[in-house]
């Protein structure tokens, strides 16, 4: 009998519209707790959440039948609805339309979890822009031989 072991781990970053600093720590605590519960009800495993006032990092484990685009769309739409309906902030909340996603090897599982959980500490030293610059410098150029 064959046993399939499929590990699809993804690190996803989404930004608040216009990078407005709306995600205060108290809002993030409520939002992250709510999101993990509701995502699991939809079959989406959110392993870790973190971020700053203007963005969120998710560490996800996808089932092979799940589609990244649909999962991110659901995460964004549901969280916009939750934040706006809950009146947790006085402004209208929205995400930028784009996002970043990176596959994560099982060998980097713990390192990725730590990185996402320590986002508050990380962003005391670096801005989101600096963080994204570091990530972009490590990208693979698919046009090179």
Q: Does residue 119 carry a pLDDT above 90?
A: no
Share the mean pLDDT of the chain.
88
Rounded-to-integer distance, Cα 47 and Cα 116, Å: 10
11-38 residue pLDDT tens? 999 999 999 999 999 999 999 999 999 9
Is residue 8 very low, low, confident or very high in pLDDT (cuts 50, 70, 90)?
very high
- pTM, whole model, 2 decimals? 0.86
Q: Which residues contact 137 (CB under 8 A, 6 or more apart)?
A: none
CA 68 to chain centre: 12
* C-beta separation of 49 from 80 below 8 A: no
Rounded-to-integer distance, Cα 56 and Cα 144, Å: 31
40-67 residue pLDDT tens? 998 899 999 999 999 999 999 999 899 9
* CATH number 3.40.50.300 given to 8-137: no
């Amino acid at each position: 009998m064959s046993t399939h072991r499929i590990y699809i781990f993804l690190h996803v970053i989404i930004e608040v519209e216009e990078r407005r600093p709306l995600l205060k720590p108290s809002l993030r605590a409520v939002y992250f707790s709510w999101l993990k519960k509701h995502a699991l009800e939809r079959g989406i495993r959110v392993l870790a959440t973190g971020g700053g006032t203007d963005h969120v990092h998710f560490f996800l484990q996808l089932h092979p039948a799940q589609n990244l685009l649909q999962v991110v769309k659901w995460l964004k739409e549901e969280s916009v609805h939750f934040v706006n309906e809950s009146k947790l902030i006085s402004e209208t909340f929205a995400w930028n339309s784009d996002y970043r996603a990176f596959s994560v090897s099982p060998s980097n599982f713990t390192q990725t979890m730590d990185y996402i959980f320590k986002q508050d500490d990380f962003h005391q030293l670096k801005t989101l822009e600096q963080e994204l610059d570091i990530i972009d410098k490590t990208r693979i150029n698919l046009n090179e031989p």
